[in-house]
Amino acid sequence: MIEVVKPKFLSFICTTAHPAGCEELVRRQIDYVKSMPPTGQKRKVLVIGSSTGYGLSSRICAAWADGSPTIGVCFEKQAFKKRTATAGWYNTAAFEKFAAEDGLYAKTINGDAFSKEVKDKTVELIKKDWGKADVVIYSLAAPRRTMADGTVYSSVLKTKDRPFTSKNLDIGKRKITQSTILPANAEEIEATIKVMGGEDWYEWMHTLKAAGVLADDAVTVAYSYIGPELTYPIYFDGTIGQAKKHLYETALKLQEEGMNAYISVNKALVTQSSAAIPIVPLYLSILYKVMKEAGVHEGTIEQMYRLWHDQLSSDAPKTDAPARIRLDDYEMRPDIQEKVMEGWNAVSDDNLTEYTDIDGYWEDLYQMFGFGFDHVDYDAAVETAQPIPSVEA
């Protein structure tokens, strides 16, 4: 369908995405990587969760910092009647277009990564086209997981044992509010671990290994977050934190079994997943302000370039605990966190722009869906049904 596409926000999620804007987002990330020194290491890279956020940036680094062939796995929707495709769909279409222009192998499997069917398809594709994969990035952020027997687990963003009341930012109304997050019950904690813990990562690694499509010295990395004490009740000590602890234990287990498995603790950033976490928008908008003023703000692409160039291209990644890489070093710097705390205590409706980068937050949110780029003509009609040349459903 050829139409003019405008943003339509339902709270923090945009229900439309702009194909030309998503292409611009991908182009900018590629340009950034091209402007940086290459790693000089060509590998075969599988990215699970490859279409948005950290996974998309990982795939871009693999392709343009390494010159590596990539297979992406994601769960996105093509345009249908009056509905645009999802941002991740357009990002993937753009990724493949630019990869083809630069002579880089790129194929995408669009389907439920939790399913055996998608794992088997990925194995077949690696066998057929590569033989073996050298790097496996696990960057899934999913709201639910359907098991083989049809059981559905849904992840929740709650505290672990007691209610937590805190300042919050209503980004739509630009108002400081109070938010109370209720504790999860045991079932909800278990479900969140099922969805966002390490079980599926473990299954992926074992499926690939058993099929003989994993190089002997293959490296695998899954992404995590810790953050400051301020957000512990909702993140590190909350339901999602329990899942991330499981993810970390899975890295240790994979290492015990002889695999090069790591967790990379990344910086907090606005992505489709993090925007959904209560209290995090206030923390993020203060953090953006402080880190931009200190000249150390990074987006997903700068973070992933550091992972690729400084860690995954060295003989052994630098870790601060067994199997744990830190990319949140600038975020967690004492001077940065001190300023964030100052802002947190002082912020009110009257001084929102003094202490928060709410406009930067909105800019990231808009750009995630392909809106708000200078070079894109948002009054022009565009074809919303974009094909992804290689996609296998």
In the complex, which residues of this chain contact ligand NAD (CB under 6 A)? 49-55, 73-76, 88, 112-114, 139-142, 223-225, 266, 268-269, 271-274
Cβ-based nearer residue to ligand NAD, 166 or 192: 192
Which lies closer to ligand NAD via its Cβ, residue 38 or residue 310?
Answer: 310
Tell the smallest beta-carbon distance from residue 319 to ligand NAD (Å): 16
Query: The dihedral of CA 262, 266, 270, 273: what is its sign?
Result: positive
User: Least Å distance between CB 47 and ligand NAD?
Assistant: 8
Distance CA(182)–CA(340), nearest Å, equals 25
Tokens of 174: 């630009």
Residue 137 CB contacts under 8 Å (≥ 6 apart), including other chains = 45, 46, 47, 48, 49, 50, 55, 58, 59, 62, 220, 221, 222
Residue type, 340: V
Whether 113 and 144 have beta carbons less than 8 Å apart is answered as no
Q: Catalytic pick from 54, 225, 235, 361?
A: 235
Separation CA 215–CA 135 (nearest Å): 8
Nearer to ligand NAD, 114 or 308 (CB): 114
Contact 311, 304 (CB under 8 A): no
Distance CA 280, CA 271 (A): 11
User: Looking at beta carbons only, is 38 or 324 nearer to ligand NAD?
Assistant: 324
**235 assigned to active site:** yes
CB of 75 closer than 8 Å to CB of 110 = yes
Q: Which residue is nearest to ligand NAD (CB)?
A: 53
The residue whose two tokens read 């790693």 is 39
Shortest gap between Cβ of 381 and ligand NAD (angstroms)? Answer: 27
Q: How far is the CB of 4 from ligand NAD (least distance, A)?
A: 26
Closest by CA position to 137, among listed 201, 91, 185, 80: 201
Q: Give the residue with the Cβ less far from ligand NAD, 37 or 200.
A: 200
CB of 349 to ligand NAD, least distance (A): 25
Q: Which residues are catalytic?
A: 235
